[in-house]
Structure 1
Amino acid sequence: MSTMKDDFVSHGTHVELTTSLSQKRADDEAFKARARDGNEIEHALSPLEAIKAYPMAIFWCLMVSMCVVMEGYDTILIANFFAYPTFAKKYGQSVDANGHWQLSASWQAAVGRGSGIGAFFGVLLNGIIVNKFGQKRAVIGALISLSCTLFIVFFAPDIKILLVGQILCGLPWGVFASSAPAYASEVLPLSLRVYMTSYTNMCFIMGQLIAAGVLAGLVNRTDEWGYRIPFALQWMWPVVLIPILCFAPESPWHLVRQNRLEEAEASLRRLQRASAPIDPQKTLAVIMHTNALEEELSKGTRYQDCYKGNELRRTEIACMTFMGQVLAGAPFAYTSTYFFQQVGMPTDMIYNMNVGATCMAFVGTLVSWFGIMPYFGRRKIYMSGAFTMSAILFIIGFLGTKGNVMAVGYTQSALCLVWTFIFQLSIGQLGWAIPAEVGSTRLRQKTICLARNAYYIADVVGGVLQPYFMNPTEWNLKGYTGFIWGSTCFILAMWTYFRLPETKGRTFDELDVLFGKRISARKFASYKVDSFHHSIMLVLPSGEKVAA
């Protein structure tokens, strides 16, 4: 049996309760030394070394995150069906004598954000389910649920049933969106954390790219299979992922919080390469140390604890950075096919440009990973992206004052593509990564859930308003919509300057100390901290506390 177990686990306790007080103190010092060594190793690991040391952790993060492909697929699928001829004829209404069909603005808003409403409740439910059953069971259960609810969408005879199906499909999508970044942040070392938490966004893009390609390939079909085939393709993912994820290891952080220390160590051994210079016992000691530190700081595990004390600031940051994806103008840019249609582009070109926009998003993600994130902090990237996108949106708005000229419409469309690229360089990536690392470890899942729900609320509001901005039978703002989203993006940029701290290079216990000391957001990057100089207590199953 491992020395970690010999040192800290005897009959289900961290230390042998019958040992002498001097032996306890020796064990406490040994535990602290292990935790300190584990912390130093995590700081020292470069991304390349971490990839070599944690190959299976990376693999399982990739598998869990692949679930998010389906939500990304549906997001662009439904939004772009509004300009899809066969879909509009099936679920919309005739708007002129030339055979043009459209959904009304109210139904566009309802169907376009139906899955977001379902996901809102799915996320809340997931915060409770994961705390009890763990990430693995929650994700597998959601995949099984999705396999059933897809039947409603596929066979929907009218727009009302389609809306019900979208809402029900949103429930498991909410689980995927909140579990994937949390799982990645808990099974990977510090140097890989930002890449795999933001990989969730890459999965969104992959889903959008698949949907864009499918739509472009089927847009000329005149029968109902033009929109049914895209719906049916969503069954592919549960069939592939369910049998694979049955073998996934559970998060060691969850197991430590459940006091299942032997299982946590076994999980770490599955995630780390046996030949790597990483001691699973030291990694386990770091997890135990951080969990104990947060217990001392009185962090509970309920939703209401996210709004108490220093945790309120962390919740605000997580919610705003996620919601920032909407405030930056995503409802405008990600319904770009409808915007392209309103400025007079032919249907074939609309969907080809949509594929191009998604490809630019994919490239932007890769550029962000390899050309920006290794060299710049989260705060600088997020803030620079917000200011740049605000400027682009204002330019789109100013171009709208030039009248309904085809050249202006094409220029506005090109700027939408540029916006998409900048979005994926900055807020698109970090909107996922920051919420996954800014919350305390005991409340991480619930912090991510609240942040994702803040996104869904903003997305529903923005999604409801956006069709009214653009619909020719409503406000018909066309390019002037850029002024609205440019303003919200500028407000986001100003919030970032004053409130968003730098989390790059900080372990979870260091973040606990920084937030506990109420360090200013602009001083996070330069502040020196050593969490091991702060006295903490380990709480034994018997209720006894020992210094750690």
Structure 2
Amino acid sequence: MGKSEEAGVVVDSPSDDVDLSAKEVFGNEARLATEIEHSMTFFEGVRLYPAAVGWSAFFSLGIIMTAFDPQLLGSLYAESAFQKDFGYLFEGSYIISAPWQTALGMGNPIGQVVGAVLVGYPMEWWGRRKTFAACVSLTACFVFMQFFTRSIVVLLVGELIGGLILGTYTTIAPTYASEVCPMAFRGHLTAYINLCFVTGQLLASGVIAGTSKLNNHWAYSAPFALQWLWPIIILAGMPFAPESPWWLIRQGRLEEAEKALIRLSSPSIDNKLTLAMMIETDKLELEMQTGTTYWDCFNKANWRRTEISIGVYATQVFSGIYLVGFAALFFNLIGLDNDKSFDMSVGFLAVGWVSTVASWVAISKWGRRRIYNIGLLVMTILMFIIGFLDLAPDYAQHKSIVWAQCILLIIWNGVFDISIGPVAYVLFCEVSATKVRTKTIAVATAAQAMVGIIMTVAIPYMIDPDSANWRGKIGFFFGGLSVLCLIWAYFRIPETKGRTYEELDLMFERKVKTRAFKHYKIK
């Protein structure tokens, strides 16, 4: 008499017939778990999975560090103490030259390209917890270089090396969030990653607004030092964090996966049903040959899913989000004085923070596709208006036009953070197959960052007074790119709201048309 063991169901079986019945039981458990997920509301999900909410938010703290550093650097370009210590005299005032702005700004996008791709390997070898803890420890080490430097060359080295580590968090956070949260609030917790980005940017701008009035090195050294706060918090909580149950299942550690599910949920949840559904999804992807390597992201089973992941994330850059890092400088160059520029950049990001919170309501009520496409359309229109305002005669003499451009850019940022900002994270987590989710997210992040490298090089030359000095005309550039992105988004982004990972696997396998996703019935 042999034994058949599947998802915690052990059946003594004298023949293959009994083994088949065990598989039928397993299938029924998975179907029941799917039905439970579909019937669960957002508030029920939060009540039943409070630990999943907390730990997903905890892993997303790394994103705050990722966003804080480039925003801090972009704001420092408009700070007088930083300009004096690291810049040069130009027409009676100190500035950081466009080539040095470009070089310093390369740390983050290059880090995302390299770090996001490389971190996929340790995440699969050692798991999410150990990889996250190692990366946070390295971040704490490289902050020393930024804090103590008084040389722009050393600062450049610190930004490049530190950026490699910061780039890993854009893969770790969405992967973990998508793997520990049930469908009821999966979109909210992956969208929360955008809130962490905005929080990091807002904190950096707020700190700079406060320290910009100092006339010594503490104007920039103090903000650099604040970056040690997050590693202290994260490393203190890391020993208590549960591992991703999806990763444990792929390692064949089913008992540990069930224990992780128990830690992430309330006692009233039957985690054997959830485990059964996850194992069945894993087996389905094995049958579909989704694979597990980076090359598999581009195979026949995954190519469409990878294209969508890359497209929704790269569109953030094409639409103009890298202007956020230069917000204070941009406001200064189009006519506001230094103090008003810093204050405006803080308000700019505060609006983004509120909009991201509002996106959770939108994600609950409307589909991902609708929010993304409508948001991108409005952003495109706003960019063109900003560009046309810059064509006004005697532009410099009309402060009202300058203020109008500033307000429109703030509105643009608000629309971004209620639409394509958070929804991009939801989409690339949901469309990717679970077996290659880490690698699909890494590929999308690397692709976005490569576009970001181009923008990091281009934007200083487009807006700096010693270069093209486009001012608000940059709206034509990003508006034009947004039109192309909008056409792609309309034809390629499917509706994924209310679908389990198994259902999405089947729909992509059956090559369901983009606009048919919303009403497609699984048979």
Cα distance, 1:517 vs structure 2: 1.1
What is the CA–CA distance in structure 2 between the aligned matches of 1:209 and 1:339, rounded to whole Å?
16
Aligned partner of 2:468 in structure 1 is: 475
Q: Are residue 292 (structure 1) and residue 283 (structure 2) matched?
A: yes
The match for 1:202 is 195
Q: How does 1:271-420 map to 2 (within 5 A)?
A: 271-274=264-267, 276=268, 278-370=269-361, 372-402=362-392, 403-404=395-396, 405-420=398-413
Instruction: State the Cα deviation string for residues 228-261 of structure 1 (Å, max 9, x = none).
Output: 0000000011111112022111111001101111
Is contact 1:436-1:444 (8 Å) kept?
Answer: yes
Tell me the alpha carbon deviations over residues 469-520 of structure 1, each in whole angstroms, 9 at most, x when there is no partner: 1011111111111000001111111111011111111111111111111111
From 36, 44, 52, the counterpart of 1:49: 44
Structure 1 CA distance for aligned equivalents of residues 315 and 331 of structure 2: 24
Task: Quote the offset at 1:407 in angstroms.
Answer: 2.0
Distance 2:221 2:112 in 1: 22
Opposite residue 30 of structure 1, the aligned amino acid is V
Q: Of the candidates 498, 516, 520, which is equivalent to residue 513 of structure 2?
A: 520
Give, as a single letter, the amino acid of the residue that structure 2 aligns with 1:497: Y
* 8 Å CA contact retained: 2:7, 2:279: no
Q: Encode CA deviations 1:180-208: one digit per residue, 9 max, x unaligned.
A: 11111111100111100111111111111
Specify the code of the residue in structure 1 equivalent to 2:282: N
Q: Which residue of 2 aligns with 1:8?
A: 6
Deviations 1:428-471 (A, max 9, x none): 11121111111000000000111111111111111110011101
Match of 1:94 among 77, 89, 103: 89
User: What is the CA–CA distance in structure 1 between the aligned matches of 2:359 and 2:173, rounded to whole Å?
Assistant: 20
Tell whether the 8 Å contact from 2:4 to 2:13 is kept in structure 1 after alignment.
no
**CA offsets per residue over residues 332-365 of structure 1, 9 Å max, x none?**
2441211111122111111111111111011101
| Further displaced range: 249-258 or 455-464 | 455-464
Question: 1:117-138: CA deviations, max 9, x gaps?
Answer: 1222111111111111111111
Query: What SS does structure 2 have at the residue aligned with 1:94?
Result: strand
**Matches of 2:314 and 2:123 in 1, distance apart?**
23
Distance 1:471 1:9, change over 3 A: closer
Task: Report the Cα offset of residue 78 of structure 1.
Answer: 0.8
| 1:16-31 alignment, distance < 5 Å | 19-31=14-26
Q: Structure 1 residue 6: deviation in Å?
A: 8.8
CA distance in 1, matches of 2:391, 2:118: 46
- 2:454 corresponding residue in structure 1: 461
SS of aligned partner of 1:498: helix
Q: How many corresponding residue pairs?
A: 518
Matched, 1:82 2:77: yes
Separation in 2, partners of 1:237, 1:333: 22
Q: Note if 1:427 corresponds to 2:427.
A: no
Q: How does 1:246-265 map to 2 (within 5 A)?
A: 246-265=239-258
Quote how far apart the aligned CAs of 1:406 are.
2.2
**Shift in CA distance, 54/168, structure 1 to aligned 2, threshold 3 Å:** same
Q: 1:68 aligns with which of 41, 47, 63?
A: 63
Cα deviation, 1:254-274, whole Å, max 9, x if unaligned, reads 011011111001111111100
Counterpart mapping for 1:444-455 below 5 A: 444-455=437-448
Secondary structure at the aligned position of 1:373 is classed as: helix
Fraction of identical pairs, as percent: 37
Q: Which digits, 9 at most, give the CA deviation of each residue in 1:257-292, with x for residues without a partner?
A: 011111001111111100x2x210000000000000
| Residue pair 1:119, 1:167 contacting (<8 A) in 2 also | no
Distance 2:19 2:492 in 1: 43
Q: Separation in 2 of the partners of 1:332 and 1:7?
A: 55
Indicate if the aligned counterparts of 2:7 and 2:272 stay in contact, CA closer than 8 A. Answer: no
Cα RMSD of the aligned pairs, angstroms, is 1.5
Deviation at 1:156, TM superposition (A): 2.0
Q: Partners of 2:201 and 2:7 in 1: how far apart?
A: 48
Contact in 2 for aligned 1:140/1:246 (Cα 8 Å): no
| 1:536 alignment partner in structure 2 | none
Residues 14-57 of structure 1, C-alpha deviation per residue, up to 9 Å, x if partnerless?
86797421220111111011111111111111001101110111
Task: Return the offset for 1:75.
Answer: 2.3
Check the 8 A contact 2:112/2:445 in 1, yes or no: no
Q: Per-residue deviation at 1:113?
A: 2.5
The answer for the alignment partner of 1:191 in structure 2 is 184
2:128 & 2:377 partners in 1: Cα distance?
Answer: 36
Answer yes or no: is the 8 Å Cα contact 1:63–1:245 preserved in 2. no
Partner of residue 213 from structure 1, selected from 198, 206, 209:
206
In structure 2, runs of 5+ residues without a counterpart are: none
Contact 2:13 2:19 in 1 (8 A): no
**1:537 corresponds to which residue?**
none
Query: SS where residue 335 of structure 1 aligns?
Result: helix
Whole-angstrom CA distance in 2 between matches of 1:115 and 1:156: 18
The CA deviation at 1:8 is 2.3
- Write the mapping of 1:98-247 to structure 2, written as runs, cut at 5 A: 100-247=93-240
TM-fit CA distance, 1:9: 6.3
Cα distance between partner residues in 2 of 1:260 and 1:160? 48
Quick check: 1:115–1:168 contact (8 Å CA) kept in 2? no
- AA at the equivalent of 2:202: L
Contact 1:323 1:455 in 2 (8 A): yes
Secondary structure of the 2:391 match is helix
1:270 to 2:268 alignment? no
> In 2, distance between residues paired with 1:9 and 1:188?
20
CA distance in 2, matches of 1:451, 1:279: 35
Alpha-carbon contact 1:498-1:521 (below 8 Å) kept:
yes
CA–CA separation in structure 2 for the residues paired with 1:321 and 1:431: 5
TM-score (norm 1): 0.92
Q: Structure 2: which amino acid aligns with 1:8?
A: E
**Contact 1:50–1:189 (Cα < 8 Å) also in 2:** yes
- Measure the CA separation in 1 of the matches of 2:243 and 2:25: 27
What is the letter of the counterpart of residue 370 of structure 2? K
Residue 90 of structure 1: CA displacement?
Answer: 1.2
